[in-house]
């Protein structure tokens, strides 16, 4: 197989003008050309994403990760670092991600644009790193540029860049690519110190997001192509010559990295189970459904790579028809069959395809995390494999067909231009929570999460009547959705439908886990019961609210007012049974303190009727009238 691959490569380079140019550049790419592709990649990325610097946070985990997280808001300190290293918040263990957000808060405060800029810079760094790594190993300047450019501006990656809460994806990819570079450095000249840089960077990637857990297997793929390290399986690169070894020797080399992957997997499972991200009950997530959904999701990711439309931040899980699974299986079998048939002459195809399949495994849903069927952000690392396979593949096809370089670049420009336009439009949907979830409802079906989040977004901008309609639509899809129950309950309290609001709010409490949401629910229940005249229930709910936020003066004030009203009732009962001037003065004082001035005046006047010479009643009445005249 190695000889066949070597012969194919030689034939291509001799017959093709593009191949000859790549061969010449492979010897030593001109520094100016390298600088040009770096600047161009950066400029394209900025063109697509520069608007995010003026975008706000959205109501999809940004609060959890940034503006409602007290640890993150306190900035980067030793206490924050200790918390980050031990926290399973957000159903994950990713301390570097927490530290990154905390550092942003220390620098930018809650100016969302600054947080967006950090994410954008990380994405640019990832694209440039990808380009440099490919160029260093293959010497293919223009193909490396096209892969990096496609990665930088592809619409599937918009979610990872424009969503502040998805910083973890960008950060783990940065360390993943750095670790790949360190592995190439080690493979060039093996040594203990060089080797140790690989697991060190890998750990940093795992500490950002466990998506990179497949890193040891990725290295074996790269050993096959482009590194050509596997003796008898692959041909050494002329541009980046490395010593070869047997497969078992190279696999043994990855064992320490595999142990790190296993440890990360255990920690991640515990974190997600403790955070409720892994459903405990079978429900809709049966083993059979998960397998079918995984196959369908793989096919959908491939389709969305080539036709990136209808993208949304959340794709709800749904039961699949047999034909939906059938076409997905057929597509994967056809692509896999072609890749396998061409494995000898075009090793980049099998590396790219297996990269896509393998790096997607942690997020494909075999172990279901959350309620989504798939997510654009999960394709951030896997799509690198598709980019490589597509760019290298079409480049070789063009070379074999002797298509001129001008036509090749014209085609590449059209593709990149289309991607820029599609990504520009997709970035626009992240300009606000209302825009984001309105678009999600346009391109998905039966999306209760989008209905709820759009309702919350509309509430935040004062469009409460529209918000209530979306909460109702969410409840029609998911009758026990606690956020929809909460949102509609709060609306009903504000609009005087107290009895109906109590039923919804009390149901929302059964599954709610967010402290702020629980506090707001108890507070709203207290108001509803108070308006219905049930002071005991009102007091109980306000007490619950003060237990979660003990220093909230509004809840304490409400409790004080309830105590005052109880005292007024007791005094009223007393003076009704035993009328006295002193009793009515005491009643008047309580009523006056409670803001019920007309009732207080009547109590003072009643006291004077019982005892016209009672000086305390006369003074209290005169003082009250004096304040009214002011």
Position with higher pLDDT, 607 vs 258: 258
- Give residue 70's Cα distance to chain centre: 19
Of 216, 174, 181, 227, nearest in space to 348 by CA: 227
pLDDT at 271: 86
pLDDT digits (tens, 9 = 90+) for 158-194: 999 999 999 999 999 999 999 999 999 999 999 999 9
- Mean pLDDT, rounded, of the chain: 88
Mean pLDDT is lowest, of 48-52, 193-197, 272-276, 576-580, for 272-276
Is it the case that residue 237 has pLDDT exceeding 90? no
Share of the chain above pLDDT 70, in %: 90
> Which contacts (CB < 8 Å, 24+ apart) does range 536-543 have?
538/562
Position with higher pLDDT, 333 vs 573: 333
Is it the case that residue 553 has pLDDT exceeding 60? no
558 preceded by a cis bond (ω within 30 of 0): no
94 vs 61, 85, 173, 366, CA distance in Å?
15, 8, 13, 21
486 and 517 Cβ atoms separated by less than 8 Å:
yes
Within 13 Å of residue 160, how many CA atoms lie on the same side as its CB?
Answer: 28
Per-residue confidence band for 462, with pLDDT thresholds at 50, 70 and 90: very high
What is the pTM for the complete model shown? 0.87
Is it the case that residue 417 has pLDDT exceeding 90? yes
How many of the other CB atoms lie within 10 Å of CB of 385? Answer: 24
CATH 1.25.40.10 fits 571-629, yes or no: yes
CA dihedral 170, 171, 175, 177 (to 10 degrees): 10
Q: What is the mean pLDDT of residues 119-130?
A: 98
Q: What is the mean pLDDT of residues 71-99?
A: 95
pLDDT at 16: 41
Q: What is the mean pLDDT of residues 470-484?
A: 95
Share of the chain above pLDDT 90, in %: 67
Of 363, 365, 343, nearest in space to 354 by CA: 343
pLDDT digits (tens, 9 = 90+) for 524-543: 998 898 889 887 887 788 77
How far apart CA 310 and CA 180 sit, in angstroms, is: 33
pLDDT at 516: 79
Pick the CATH number of 434-561 from 2.30.42.10, 1.25.40.10, 3.40.50.1110, 2.40.40.20: 1.25.40.10
pLDDT at 444: 97
Per-residue confidence band for 24, with pLDDT thresholds at 50, 70 and 90: very low
The pair of three-digit structure tokens given for residue 200, joined into one six-digit string: 């060190």
How far apart CA 626 and CA 87 sit, in angstroms, is: 60
How many of the other CB atoms lie within 10 Å of CB of 598? Answer: 10
Q: What is the mean pLDDT of residues 116-133?
A: 98
92 and 275 Cβ atoms separated by less than 8 Å:
yes
Is it the case that residue 3 has pLDDT exceeding 80? no
| Most confident by average pLDDT, 119-123, 275-279, 392-396, 482-486 | 119-123
pLDDT at 17: 42
Q: What is the mean pLDDT of residues 423-429?
A: 98
pLDDT at 13: 39
Which residues, 6+ apart, have CB-to-CB distance to 626 below 8 Å? none
pLDDT at 473: 97
Is it the case that residue 15 has pLDDT exceeding 60? no
Q: Render 80-114 in DSSP notation, one character per residue.
A: HHHHHHH--GGGS--HHHHHHHHHHHHHHTT-HHH
Is it the case that residue 593 has pLDDT exceeding 50? yes
Q: Domain coordinates of the chain in residue numbers?
A: 2-430, 434-561, 571-629
Does the fold of domain 571-629 match that of domain 434-561?
Answer: yes
pLDDT at 2: 38
Per-residue confidence band for 45, with pLDDT thresholds at 50, 70 and 90: very high
pLDDT digits (tens, 9 = 90+) for 323-370: 999 999 999 999 999 999 998 889 999 999 999 999 999 999 887 666
Q: What DSSP state is assigned to residue 286? A: -
How far apart CA 290 and CA 374 sit, in angstroms, is: 11
Is it the case that residue 585 has pLDDT exceeding 90? no
pLDDT at 110: 96
Mean pLDDT is lowest, of 112-116, 321-325, 329-333, 542-546, for 542-546
pLDDT digits (tens, 9 = 90+) for 270-308: 888 776 655 544 345 788 899 999 999 999 999 999 999
Is it the case that residue 20 has pLDDT exceeding 50? no
pLDDT at 552: 62
Q: What is the mean pLDDT of residues 396-416?
A: 91
Is it the case that residue 27 has pLDDT exceeding 60? no
Q: Is 374 helix (H, G, I), strand (E, B) or coil?
A: strand
Of 451, 539, 511, nearest in space to 487 by CA: 451
pLDDT at 262: 96
Is it the case that residue 202 has pLDDT exceeding 70? yes
How far apart CA 518 and CA 60 sit, in angstroms, is: 18
């Amino acid at each position: 197989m190695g000889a066949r691959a070597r012969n194919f490569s030689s034939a291509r380079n001799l017959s093709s003008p593009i191949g000859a140019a790549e061969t010449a550049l492979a010897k030593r790419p001109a520094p100016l050309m390298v600088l040009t592709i770096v600047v161009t990649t950066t400029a394209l990325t900025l063109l697509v994403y520069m608007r995010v610097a003026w975008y706000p946070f959205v109501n999809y985990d940004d609060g959890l990760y940034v503006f409602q997280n007290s640890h993150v808001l306190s900035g980067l300190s030793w206490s924050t670092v200790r918390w980050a290293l031990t926290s399973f918040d957000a159903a994950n263990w990713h301390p570097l991600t927490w530290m990154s957000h905390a550092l942003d808060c220390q620098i930018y405060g809650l100016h969302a644009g600054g947080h967006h800029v950090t994410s954008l810079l990380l994405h640019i760094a990832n694209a440039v790193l990808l380009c440099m790594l490919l160029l260093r190993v293959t010497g293919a300047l223009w193909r490396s540029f096209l892969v990096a450019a496609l990665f930088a501006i592809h619409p599937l990656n918009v979610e990872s860049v424009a969503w502040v809460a998805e910083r973890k994806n960008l950060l783990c990819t940065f360390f993943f690519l750095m670790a790949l570079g360190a592995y190439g450095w080690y493979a060039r000249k093996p040594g203990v110190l060089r080797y140790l840089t690989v697991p060190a960077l890998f750990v940093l990637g795992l500490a950002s997001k466990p998506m990179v857990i497949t890193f040891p297997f990725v290295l074996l793929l790269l050993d096959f192509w482009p590194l050509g390290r596997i003796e008898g399986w692959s041909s050494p690169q002329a541009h980046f010559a490395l010593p070869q070894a047997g497969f078992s020797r190279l696999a043994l080399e990855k064992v320490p990295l595999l142990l790190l992957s296993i440890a990360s997997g255990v920690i991640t499972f515990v974190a997600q189970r403790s955070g409720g991200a892994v459903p405990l009950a079978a429900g809709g997530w049966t083993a059979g459904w998960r397998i079918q959904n995984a196959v369908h999701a793989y096919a959908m990711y491939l389709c969305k790579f080539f036709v990136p439309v209808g993208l949304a931040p959340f794709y709800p899980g749904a039961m699949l028809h047999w034909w939906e699974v059938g076409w997905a299986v057929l597509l994967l079998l056809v692509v896999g069959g072609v890749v396998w048939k061409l494995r000898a002459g075009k090793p980049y195809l099998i590396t790219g395809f297996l990269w896509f399949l393998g790096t997607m495994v942690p997020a494909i849903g075999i172990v279901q995390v959350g309620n989504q069927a798939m997510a654009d952000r999960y394709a951030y690392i896997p799509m690198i494999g598709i980019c490589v396979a597509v760019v290298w593949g079409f480049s070789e096809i063009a070379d074999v067909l002797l298509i001129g370089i001008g036509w090749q670049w014209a085609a590449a420009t059209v593709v990149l231009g289309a991607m820029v336009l599609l990504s520009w439009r997709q970035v626009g949907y992240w300009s606000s929570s209302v825009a984001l979830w309105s678009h999600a409802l346009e391109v998905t079906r039966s999306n209760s999460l989008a209905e709820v989040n759009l309702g919350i977004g509309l509430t935040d901008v004062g469009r409460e009547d529209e918000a209530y309609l979306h909460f109702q639509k969410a409840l029609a899809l998911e009758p026990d959705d606690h956020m929809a129950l909460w949102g509609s309950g709060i609306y009903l309290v504000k609009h005087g439908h107290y009895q109906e609001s109590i039923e919804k709010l009390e149901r929302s409490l059964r599954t709610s886990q967010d402290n702020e949401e629980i506090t707001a629910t108890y507070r709203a229940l207290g108001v509803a019961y108070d308006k219905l005249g049930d002071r005991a229930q009102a007091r109980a709910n306000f007490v619950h609210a003060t237990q979660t936020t003990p220093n909230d003066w509004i809840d304490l004030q409400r409790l004080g007012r309830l105590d005052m009203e109880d005292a007024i009732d007791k005094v009223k009962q007393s003076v009704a049974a035993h009328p006295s001037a002193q009793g009515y003065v005491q009643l008047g004082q309580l009523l006056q303190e409670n803001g019920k001035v007309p009732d207080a005046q009547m109590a003072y006047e009643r006291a004077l009727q019982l005892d016209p010479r009672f000086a305390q009643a006369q003074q209290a009445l005169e003082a009250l009238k004096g304040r009214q005249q002011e």
